[in-house]
Amino acid sequence: MKISQLKLGEKILFGIVALLLVFAVLSFVMLEIYRSRLNHPMYPATTTFDFTPIGKHGSELFRDRGCTDCHRALRNGTNHGVTLDGVGSKRSLNYLINFLKRPEATYETKTVDHGLNKEAAYVAGLPDTELHDMAVFLSELKATQGSPDAELPMPERSGFVDEMVKIWAPDTWKAERHDLRQDAMKPNNERP
């Protein structure tokens, strides 16, 4: 079919699609050129890991036992479950071991997949040594404080956040809850 045989509406429609396509390709090329000229990564890495031999073994188990079907860690896996990058800054090794063995008794809210007759029920039935090694692996996934994966916000005070809390947080909150930022300076094992 020749272009001249198209109706006006069709020409406009295809024209818009073609423009969008050109725009997308151009943006991609420009972004890649920009990225190739940077001498640092475009986004800083905020999850770090330093594996012990047990942690390394745990990371292999994590992949082989189907955890990556639902979880993502170190850029592997999917986003169906929770991302576990940085989980070692949020949870202690003890918590992780307990969660893997007795998810429903450990998790603070109802679980979706871990637990009896749920999709990840098999996890609690894996040998203790495997669960231990995977928990060690997860406990070694640390996140930089203040990054999206980290539990604790940035150490510096933010005037904006202080102001927002003052305006919007009901007074009862101040009595019932405590400010996470005050924990930021404490060592890991003294946090609640």
**Quick check: 119 binds ligand HEC (CB under 6 A)?**
yes
**Quick check: 96 binds ligand HEC (CB under 6 A)?**
yes
**Quick check: 49 binds ligand HEC (CB under 6 A)?**
no
Contacts of 105 (CB under 8 A, 6+ apart): 98
Dihedrals φ, ψ of 128, to 5°?
Answer: -50, -40
Under rule CB under 6 A, which residues in 153-172 are in contact with ligand HEC? Answer: none
**Quick check: 69 binds ligand HEC (CB under 6 A)?**
yes
Which range binds ligand HEC by CB under 6 A, 8-16, 19-27, 28-36, 81-89? 81-89
CA distance 46 to 88: 13
CA distance 87 to 82: 10
Contacts of 135 (CB under 8 A, 6+ apart): 58, 93, 96, 97, 100
| 130-168: b (≥16 Cβ within 10 Å) or e | bbbbbbbbbbbbbbbeebebbebbeeeeeeeeeeeeeee
Is 95 exposed, middle or buried (CB count within 10 Å of its CB: 0-12, 13-18, 19+)? middle
Which residue number, 11 or 63, has a Cβ lying nearer to ligand HEC? 63
**Quick check: 144 binds ligand HEC (CB under 6 A)?**
no
**Quick check: 92 binds ligand HEC (CB under 6 A)?**
no
**Quick check: 62 binds ligand HEC (CB under 6 A)?**
yes
**Quick check: 142 binds ligand HEC (CB under 6 A)?**
no
**Cα dist from 133 to 62, 111, 138, 152, whole Å:** 9, 22, 9, 26
Which range binds ligand HEC by CB under 6 A, 4-12, 32-40, 95-103, 156-164? 95-103
Beta carbon of residue 68, minimum distance to ligand HEC (angstroms, whole number): 8
Beta carbon of residue 74, minimum distance to ligand HEC (angstroms, whole number): 13
Which residue number, 69 or 179, has a Cβ lying nearer to ligand HEC? 69
User: What does the binding site for ligand HEC look like in residue numbers (CB under 6 A)?
Assistant: 62, 65-67, 69-71, 80-82, 87, 90-91, 96, 99-100, 107, 111-114, 119-120, 123, 134, 138
